[in-house]
Amino acid sequence: MNTNRIADSSAPFQNLASVVARLRESRESMHKIRHRGHVRELPSRVVVKQVVEALAAVLFPTHYGRADLHDTDIDFYVGDTLSGALAALSEQLRRALMFSANEDLVQDPELPAKAHALTERFAEVLPDIRAVLVSDLQAAYQGDPAATSISEVLLCYPGCLAVIHHRLAHALYRLGVPLLPRLIADIAHSATGIDIHPAATIGGSFFIDHGTGVVIGETAIIGHGVRLYQAVTLGAKRFPSEADGTLTKGVARHPIVEDDVVIYAGATILGRITIGKGSTIGGNVWLTHSVPPGSNLSQALTTST
pLDDT in tens, 263-296: 999 999 999 999 999 999 999 999 999 999 999 9
Instruction: Catalogue the long-range contacts made by 61-70 (C-beta closer than 8 Å, 24 or more residues apart).
Output: 63/151, 63/154, 63/155, 64/154
Q: Is the pLDDT of residue 302 over 60?
A: no
What is the per-residue pLDDT for 114?
A: 94
Nearest to 98 by CA among 32, 174, 169, 43: 43
Domain ranges of the chain: 41-193, 213-305
Q: Has residue 37 got a pLDDT over 80?
A: no
Residue pLDDT, tens place only, 202-220: 999 999 999 999 999 999 9
User: In whole angstroms, what is the distance from residue 196 CA to residue 189 CA?
Assistant: 8
Q: What is the pLDDT of residues 38-73, one digit of tens each?
A: 566 889 999 999 999 999 999 999 999 999 999 999
pLDDT of 305? 38
How far apart CA 209 and CA 214 sit, in angstroms, is 10
Average pLDDT for the chain? 91
- Does 2.160.10.10 match the CATH number of domain 213-305? yes
Q: What number is the average pLDDT over the span 86-111? A: 82
pLDDT score at 103: 54
Bigger pLDDT: 106 or 175?
175
| Calpha distance 8→238 (Å, rounded) | 50
Measured distance CA(122)–CA(25) in Å, rounded: 41
Split at pLDDT 50, 70, 90, the class of 27 is confident
| CATH fit for domain 41-193, picks 1.10.730.10, 1.10.3130.10, 1.10.540.10, 3.90.1200.10 | 1.10.3130.10
pLDDT band at 115 (very low <50, low <70, confident <90, very high): very high
pLDDT, residue 121, reads: 98
Q: 139: Cβ–Cβ under 8 A, 6 or more apart, which residues?
A: 205, 206, 207, 225, 227
Q: What is the 3-state secondary structure (H, E, C) of the chain?
A: CCCCCCCCCCCCCCCHHHHHHHHHHHHHHHCCCCHHHCCCCCCCHHHHHHHHHHHHHHHCHHHHHCCCCCCCCHHHHHHHHHHHHHHHHHHHHHHHHCCCCCCCCCCCCCHHHHHHHHHHHHHHCHHHHHHHHHHHHHHHHHHCCCCCCHHHHHHHCHHHHHHHHHHHHHHHHHCCCCCHHHHHHHHHHHHHCCEECCCCEECCCCEECCCCCCEECCCCEECCCCEECCCCEEECCCCCECCCCCECCCCCCCCEECCCCEECCCCEEECCCEECCCCEECCCCEECCCECCCCEECHHHHHCC
Give tens-digit pLDDT for 169-197. Answer: 999 999 999 999 999 999 999 999 999 99
What is the value of pTM for the model shown?
A: 0.87
